[in-house]
Chains A and B, each alone.
Chain A
Amino acid sequence: MSSDRIIQVERDILSKNDKLAAANRARFRADDALAFNLVSSPGAGKTSLLVRAVSDLKDTFPIGVIEGDQQTSNDAERIRATGVPAVQINTGKGCHLDAAMVAEAYDRLPWLNGGILFIENVGNLVCPAAFDLGEACKIVVFSTTEGEDKPLKYPDMFAVSSLMLINKIDLAPVLDFNLAQTIEYARRVNPKIEVLTVSARTGEGMATFYAWIRKQSSRMNAATLRAVSG
């Protein structure tokens, strides 16, 4: 007689990561730190965008940056050159950051009391979509050199992101880039995604991005106040 039996499990494959992400989220909230997870394909300009953003915002907010790459500490060094603390994570063969890596890196940053944590994920439009890091939201950086149909080719990433930053907008005229078409494709995948156009090189549109960040910050504070008083 066979002793085979069927065991009902019904557990999420990502449950361990999700639990760690929830713990990160609670820590960020306790520190009043607003965390953004920046995702994109390699070369979309995430680091250049961050270098400009942290330089412009560092006198307003305490800022920390977690940099994820397979190899090198080049990106963390570029951030540190602005005077903002940065921790580099090398994922080796890994194609994405996970919540455990972010927890460990956050320990190595100074206290971000009321500040902003930027997490620059590994350049990859596929895998990082699946892993919650505990961020307030994901920001997908898309550049005008990539082709308008990227949101359709990599729908998961655009579906999980709250904001699409269209970078390298200064190059749009020479590329015959079709902005309306890109936005239409992104909203097919995610009707609620917000869109801003920027150039990390010239600074065009960055002020609007900072206004968006401040809006998220006041929204978080309002939610915290409600939680405290409610």
Chain B
Amino acid sequence: MHEMALCEGIIQIVEEEARRRAFSKVKTVCLEIGALSHVAPEAMKFCFEAVAARTIAAGAVLEIVETPGVAWCMACSKRVEIKQRYEPCPSCGGYQLQVTGGEEMRVKELEVD
């Protein structure tokens, strides 16, 4: 359940932004979560509601934009898309893959009042 700790991180970021950019209510928190990151979006939504209660983000909607997993196939010398880390290269079937994208876990934007 590290999603709990990650949600605490999100709230910290939201609170810092609220001080810096002077807003008092958050309606939507938009995250960018990569398909190969350490997060299960459903667990994240569940934890967010609990962690956000009694904070500036209480009641805010958590929107998750999922970005695809991208890897460089050393055998094919090209960029390929993968859904999971253990998947083979969709072109050659090999596993000589270097993950280059889809690991991000970021707060992308906030809709505030």
A and B bound? Answer: yes
Q: A16-B9, A17-B9, A95-B1 are in contact. Are A11 and B86 (CB under 8 A)?
A: no
Minimum CB–CB distance from B35 to chain A (whole Å) comes to 12
Listed stretches A71-79, A127-135, A172-180; interface member: A127-135
Extra contacts, 12 of them, besides A2-B113, A9-B107, A13-B105 (Cβ < 8 A), are A6-B110, A8-B109, A9-B110, A13-B6, A13-B13, A127-B2, A152-B86, A156-B38, A156-B85, A159-B99, A189-B86, A191-B98
Minimum CB–CB distance from B69 to chain A (whole Å) comes to 11
**B2 touches which one: A9, A10, A95 (CB < 8 A)?**
A95
Secondary structure call for the B interface: mixed
Secondary structure call for the A interface: mixed
Closest chain A residue to B29, Cβ basis? A9
Residues of B within 8 A of A (CB): 1-2, 5-6, 9-10, 12-13, 17, 21, 23, 27, 31, 38, 74, 84-86, 88, 95-99, 104-113
Closest chain A residue to B9, Cβ basis? A13
A187 vs B86: C-alpha distance in the bound complex, in angstroms?
9
Minimum CB–CB distance from B49 to chain A (whole Å) comes to 16
> Are B13's CB and A9's CB within 8 A?
yes
Q: A4-B27, A98-B5 are in contact. Are A130 and B108 (CB under 8 A)?
A: no
**A130 touches which one: B2, B23, B74 (CB < 8 A)?**
B2
Contacts of B96 in A (CB 8 A): 191
Q: A95-B2, A130-B2 are in contact. Are A6 and B9 (CB under 8 A)?
A: no
